[in-house]
Amino acid sequence: MAGGLVELAHGDPDRTIVSDGTATYSSAAFNERVNRLIDANRKAGVTAGDALAVYASNSADYVTVTTAASLGGVSPVPVNVHLQIDEVAYILGNAAVKALFVGPAQAEVGRAAAAQAGVPLVYTMDDDLERHIGTGDPVEPAPETPYASPIYYTSGSTGRPKGTRMSQVMTGVPVDAVVSGMKKQLASNGLDASTIHLVQGPLYHAAPLGMANFTLIVGGVCHVMPSFEPEEALRLIERHAVTSSIMVPTMFVRLLRLPDEVKGRYDLSSLKLVIHTGAIMPTDVKRGMIDWWGPVLVDGYGASELGVVCQIGSEEWLRKPGSVGPCPPSPWRSSVRTVTSSRPARWGRSTSRASPTSTSATSVSRRRQRASTGRPSSSRSATWAGSTTTGTCSLPTGATT
């Protein structure tokens, strides 16, 4: 594998690196598992430049499959588990995936969708996945292997779902270069190999999956919740001394509704960073969480194809309630322009929509106004903010717009 994880696999091979309450992998075991899966996919005909889809519930193996895909140059396509056969089939065909990995609970729908879309390879994430991994060799991928970021599909509320890439993560650039950039980006928020991350949201969403994979690639630890339960989240934070997580406001509402004796039962002092995103945060909920957890909350305002556009920490927010903060620096901005200007998109579509300055300023201003009045805000306003700085977005060969 690449980056901090391979270093950890050699330096501290027995350290638990991924767990979901059922499956637990040490750093050495996870590193070998990822490497075998990269090689198994390659032998099956899924190679750099292709895409594979994951239609499954949260698990440690969800992270295994997506990490192996990205580090092997294959774009992972997470699929919402609530979609049905025709909807899943459309995404599989649109993204031109070569393989589908399905959870046991999603196997019937997933296999029917794969047959409809003409996907040649389907693996159920049980013994079937183990047999597939067993066909691969545990060789480290070449450092020049191109990194492939995930392709996230929009909800399709204005028509068919659209495939997007997170522009803050490079695609088609050697893995080692991407890992170096990730380390810089995560370090700006105090995240490094000492990070112990708790996944609480569905991994088919951009933020939970992105942070899980980033944490592992730089050598941190990732604990995956199959689904969010308020008291179980508190228990896991205390048990694993969790330092970071990504959450949405509804999770905070459910946590705050717990009885006081339950809230006081767990030691949460290990927390250093809790990013919240996905919806506007009610002022009283945010104040309640800061009073309880301390100034560890960071509002990350952005979109699936952009990553974080603006962010604000707890202390600054307390001085400016309702603000979403300034645009954070990104290690990708200058290099993205260089790479994409010399390499045309494979499907001829750019993410550019409008001026990054005017659109971003307008979107943020509208959200601040809505926050101060308490009116609901649509997350769509962030979709186009600053998109011209990201250059071109490309999907695998054969994918359609």
Going by C-alpha positions, the residue among 276, 392, 289, 395 that lies closest to residue 347 is 395
Question: Residues 338, 225: one domain?
Answer: yes
Check whether 158 has a pLDDT greater than 80. Answer: no
377 forms beta bridges with: none
Check whether 221 has a pLDDT greater than 50. Answer: yes
Question: What pLDDT shows up at residue 11?
Answer: 79
Question: Residues 384, 273: one domain?
Answer: yes
Check whether 274 has a pLDDT greater than 70. Answer: yes
Question: Residues 235, 316: one domain?
Answer: yes
299 forms beta bridges with: 276, 312
Out of 3-17, 148-162, 278-292, least confident range: 3-17
Cα separation, 152 vs 352, in Å, equals 17
**More confident: 389 or 229:** 229
pTM of the full predicted structure? Answer: 0.81
Going by C-alpha positions, the residue among 35, 79, 40, 81 that lies closest to residue 57 is 81
Question: Residues 229, 161: one domain?
Answer: no
Question: Residues 249, 385: one domain?
Answer: yes
Q: Is residue 182 part of a domain?
A: no
pLDDT interval class at 330 (50, 70, 90): low
Question: What pLDDT shows up at residue 5?
Answer: 64
- CATH number of the domain encompassing residue 45: 3.40.50.12780
Q: Among 134, 149, 173, which residue terminates a domain?
A: 173
Question: Residues 285, 163: one domain?
Answer: no
Out of 27-41, 107-121, 279-293, 333-347, least confident range: 333-347
Q: Is residue 211 part of a domain?
A: no
Q: Among 173, 191, 208, which residue terminates a domain?
A: 173
Cα separation, 278 vs 314, in Å, equals 17
Question: Residues 268, 130: one domain?
Answer: no
> 239 Cβ partners below 8 Å, 6+ apart?
none
In contact, 246 and 216? CB cutoff 8 Å: no
Q: Is residue 295 part of a domain?
A: yes
Q: Is residue 79 part of a domain?
A: yes
Q: Is residue 401 part of a domain?
A: no
Dihedral sign of CA atoms 62, 63, 69, 72 in order: negative
Cα separation, 325 vs 144, in Å, equals 37
Question: Residues 87, 164: one domain?
Answer: yes
| Residues in the chain, overall count | 401
Q: Is residue 189 part of a domain?
A: no
- CATH number of the domain encompassing residue 226: 3.40.50
What does the mean pLDDT of the chain come to? Answer: 81
Q: Token pair 């092997």 is at which residue?
A: 72
Question: What pLDDT shows up at residue 78?
Answer: 97
Q: Is residue 9 part of a domain?
A: yes
pLDDT interval class at 201 (50, 70, 90): very high
Give the domain range for residue 108: 3-15+27-173
Question: Residues 122, 7: one domain?
Answer: yes
- Per-residue pLDDT of 40-64, as tens digits, reads 999 999 999 999 999 999 999 999 9
- Per-residue pLDDT of 94-153, as tens digits, reads 999 999 999 999 999 999 999 999 999 999 999 999 999 999 999 998 888 899 999 999
Cα separation, 180 vs 187, in Å, equals 11
How many domains does the chain divide into? 2
Question: Residues 283, 351: one domain?
Answer: yes
Question: Residues 155, 251: one domain?
Answer: no
Q: Among 147, 173, 199, which residue terminates a domain?
A: 173
E strands along 95-193, which residues? 99-102, 121-124, 151-153, 163-165
- Per-residue pLDDT of 174-187, as tens digits, reads 888 887 877 877 77
Question: Residues 265, 355: one domain?
Answer: yes
Q: Is residue 215 part of a domain?
A: no
Cα separation, 140 vs 32, in Å, equals 8
- Per-residue pLDDT of 365-388, as tens digits, reads 344 444 444 433 333 322 222 222
